[in-house]
Amino acid sequence: MAADQETEVSEAQIAVHWPEEAYYEPPATFIAQANAADPALFERFSEPHFPECFKEYADLLAWDAYWHTTLDTSHPPFWKWFVGGRLNASYNCVDRHLATSRNKAALIWVPEPEDEDTKAITYQELYRRVNEFAALMRDFAGVKTGDRVTFHLPMVPELPVSMLACARLGVVHSEVFGGFSGTACGERIADSGSHILVTMDGYYRNGELIDHKAKADEAVAKARALGAEVAKVLVWRRHRGQYASKSPMVPGRDFFVDEVLGDYRGRVVEPVSMPAEAPLFLMYTSGTTARPKGCQHSTGGYLAYVTGTSKYYQDIHPEDTYWCFADIGWITGHSYIVYGPLSLGTTSVMYEGVPTYPDPGRPWRIAERLGVTIFHTAPTTIRMLRKLGPDEPKKYNYRFKHMTTVGEPIEPDVWRWYHAVVGKGKAVIVDTWWQTENGGFLGSTLPALQPMKPGSCGPGVLGIYPVIYDEKGNVVEAGSGRAGNICIRNPWPGIFQTVWGQPERFVQIYYAKYCRDKNSKDWRDWPYFAGDGAVQAADGYFRILGRVDDVINVAGHRLGTKELESASITVEEIAEAAAVPVMDELRGRAVEMYVSVKPGVVSGPHIEQKVAKAIETAIGKIARPKNVWIVPDMPKTRSGKIMRRVIAGISNFSDVGDTTTLANPEVVEVIRRQVQAEKVARGELPRQLSPQELEEIKAFGRAE
Amino acid sequence: MTQQYLVGELSLILGELQAAATNAAAVRDVGRLRREAEITPPAALGPVVARAVKLGGRVCWDALTQGESAAFIRDTAIYAELWEFGVCAGLLEEGQTSHETGRS
């Protein structure tokens, strides 16, 4: 019975198994003060007004020269926004606020040790620090417009100062999350071609001063191994005059910033007027291949987009105290701690440490003490705060008007706790969906105009026209209950410009899948493939389901190949693993695992059992593979990527496609003979695949 | 989704575990796992967290069997942080048994 039920579960039914949640309306007090309370906004940002609608965002900035072309589509999908326009991001986030808000706090930094004083940095002080560090960067470090500089900095005020100093010079910054290893940092240094690393000696985490500078040595060594030489390592000190690291300073390479900075006191650096399409920063994402992806974000388009969405969706007013409880090492921090809020001239709070140090009441004490009005964090943090201190918010007298969630879908149950307990039933919640590549929000509710619905991020934001496509490019209609691939039909100013140094990867990953005509210069032919699965309710709200890369749908359960493969290689003897779908009469699709063992390991059924067990343990019984094939090697491209498409062809007795570009084409025939002979011996005889099934197998693995 | 921070948080905690480990083999194994975490897409982190928990248990046991009580206290704190992170990030099931993850 259970098996019969399972076979009838279709992808469509996965979605309808989730009950629709009731709406929550924003309080009247919020609507009365909201930046975006005029329903005419929807008309202004509707498709007939695209792309000129984004002038409304760009007009929030100060431009040195106005643009002549709002959107240049002459070289798709490398869109250019506000072409001809010139501006400086540092000027927009700092200088322009001096006239009215010189002595207002731009940043309030909260150190992790609770007995250490909070530091407020006014716009005037920020201006001074940014100018002095920009002078140091230019005259001491020798960087010039267009160069890349890597930061490996924790959550300290020196990070936004360094970012804005680079932006002032037109230098492209690339911040690597401070918690990453030196090796990861070194890889990003090498990929970006930076010659300067800005780091810190230490920072506090869980009550301890962590030695951070040691990672710089590892990073420099890794970069060197990859052919990139770091000329200077600039080391900020967590406590001026004291060195928190055991790692010795390397003479001629390593310099304490606080010592060198003395020579640049009071120096003023004129902001370099940059073309709107000049790159502002790189933000790396990790991936399965050896080379990380450096998402290149523009100056004008990006800054306009994060400023506009900060104003309308975060509802930031200059008099707000805004706290995005994230790390600047991620895109959320770049967009919604630094560039968006500072461009609007508000006060942005930064916190150094972990949310639960010294206890789970810490975030609410900070909110109470600083009078935070807008709070912004990730569901993982919300779940942790709920788990470790479900009643803590009630003990503190703070009052949020607005709260955001970012980074992952939030379960309705967690959403309700966030609303009722953290928000005390009085704050609106903006649930957002977007990605590192996107610069700013793509899916959300406009808080005064659209009701909240737990578990759904909302519809596309202003000027974003999302669509859900199935694998063949057919539109999955709203309200159909069917899931598919969420795509954005149009370009927008915040979209990244390219993958740094890998333009072909940019096109292949994000645009090739649904491009209708690669020669077309019409943006309508180039939908952006986000790589997330989603379902759209009849009201237009989206629920995001997670990554769609190489999903195997087993009886209605979407299993990621990466999860299956990661589970397999937890088995000590396994060197490599690849998961592929095989047509299955009972469950629609089943999983087959291909594994290779480490040198010296004797393969046999015990290994197959171990792999199957590891998958069951990590993912569940539903993921248990139909077969585990131990093969001598995997078919791979010359860059080392396993060609799942080829293996899937073998498992399904279908065409394996072109193998001439493989690094080891000979292995295909070896595997084919081994696997297909064994299947026939087991009675797993091939059947004729339908054209759709053949297409699915051919397309498998192409998501990467 | 902007889930990259899950990769970073896991790397950070593994870095702490690596620094706290008292046994050379464990230091090496945690280092390798951290490297793996840093190049694993966020959607595939679950099994890496499960292995991290298993390794964390081993690091705690190492300290205990060597009679290093201060190290043991520190290791268990990191272990607890790792466990809470995994559960709250949806990468581990709260009810996952000790046998499945190696949690001791």
Q: Which domain holds residue B34?
A: 3-90
Judged by CB atoms closer than 8 Å, whether chains meet at B11 and A180 is answered as yes
* Cβ count near A211 (within 10 Å): 15
Beta-carbon contacts of A499 under 8 Å, excluding residues fewer than 6 positions away, are A293, A294, A295, A296, A505, A506, A509
- Report the C-alpha dihedral over residues A348, A353, A354, A357, rounded to 10 degrees: -110
Residues A626-633: what's their mean pLDDT?
94
The alpha carbon of residue B27 is apart from the nearest alpha carbon of chain A, in Å, by: 14
Q: Is A311 exposed, middle or buried (0-12, 13-18, 19+ CB in 10 A)?
A: buried
* A565 contacts chain B (CB < 8 A): yes
* Cβ count near A388 (within 10 Å): 15
pLDDT single digits (tens) A342-374: 999 999 999 999 999 999 999 999 999 999 999
Q: Work out whether the CA dihedral A419, A422, A426, A430 comes out positive or negative.
A: negative
Q: Which chain B residue's Cα is nearest to A332?
A: B2
pLDDT band at B30 (very low <50, low <70, confident <90, very high): very high
Residues A529-534: what's their mean pLDDT?
90
* A549 contacts chain B (CB < 8 A): yes
* A388 contacts chain B (CB < 8 A): yes
Q: Does a structural domain hold residue B69?
A: yes
pLDDT band at A6 (very low <50, low <70, confident <90, very high): very low
Count CB pairs under 8 A between chains A and B: 133
pLDDT single digits (tens) A569-597: 778 888 888 899 998 887 788 999 999 98
Residues A295-309: what's their mean pLDDT?
98
* Cβ count near A391 (within 10 Å): 10
What are the φ/ψ torsions at residue A187 (nearest 5 degrees)? -65, -40
Q: Does a structural domain hold residue B66?
A: yes
What Cα–Cα distance (Å) separates residue B36 from each residue in A180, A183, A335, B84?
12, 12, 28, 20
Helix axes B46-65, B69-88, angle to 10 degrees: 170
> Could you say which residues from 304 to 343 on chain A have a Cβ atom under 8 Å away from some Cβ of chain B?
326-327, 329-332
pLDDT single digits (tens) B46-75: 878 988 999 999 999 999 999 999 999 999
- The DSSP letter of residue A511 is T
Q: Does a structural domain hold residue B98?
A: no
Q: Does a structural domain hold residue B95?
A: no
Judged by CB atoms closer than 8 Å, whether chains meet at A549 and B41 is answered as yes
Question: What percent of chain A has pLDDT above 90?
Answer: 76
- The DSSP letter of residue A426 is T
What are the φ/ψ torsions at residue A15 (nearest 5 degrees)? -70, -45
First to last CA, chain A: 37
Q: Does a structural domain hold residue B30?
A: yes
SS3 at position A570: coil
| Contact residues on chain B for A593, CB-CB shorter than 8 A | none
* Cβ count near A169 (within 10 Å): 26
Q: Does a structural domain hold residue B70?
A: yes
For residue A285, give the nearest of B4, B34, B85 by CB distance.
B4
Q: Does a structural domain hold residue B41?
A: yes
pLDDT band at B102 (very low <50, low <70, confident <90, very high): very low
pLDDT at A568: 85
pLDDT at B97 over 50: no
pLDDT band at A566 (very low <50, low <70, confident <90, very high): confident
Q: Work out the mean pLDDT of chain A and round it to a whole number.
A: 91
pTM: 0.83
Which of the pair, A619 or A307, is modelled with greater confidence? A307
pLDDT at A577: 87
DSSP for A359-410, please give it.
Answer: -TTHHHHHHHHHT--EEEE-HHHHHHHHHH-TTGGGGS----SEEEE-SS--
Token pair listed for A527: 């939908």
- The DSSP letter of residue A23 is P
Element (H or E) spanning A205, and its range?
Answer: strand A202-205
Domain count, chain B: 1
For residue B41, give the nearest of A177, A206, A287 by CB distance.
A287
CA distance A411 to A421: 15
pLDDT single digits (tens) A150-169: 999 999 999 999 999 999 99
Residues A414-438: what's their mean pLDDT?
96
pLDDT single digits (tens) A502-516: 999 999 999 999 999
Q: What is the ipTM of this complex?
A: 0.84
Q: Does a structural domain hold residue B96?
A: no
pLDDT at B91: 83
Q: Strands (DSSP E) along A463-512, which ranges?
A: 466-469, 483-488, 498-499
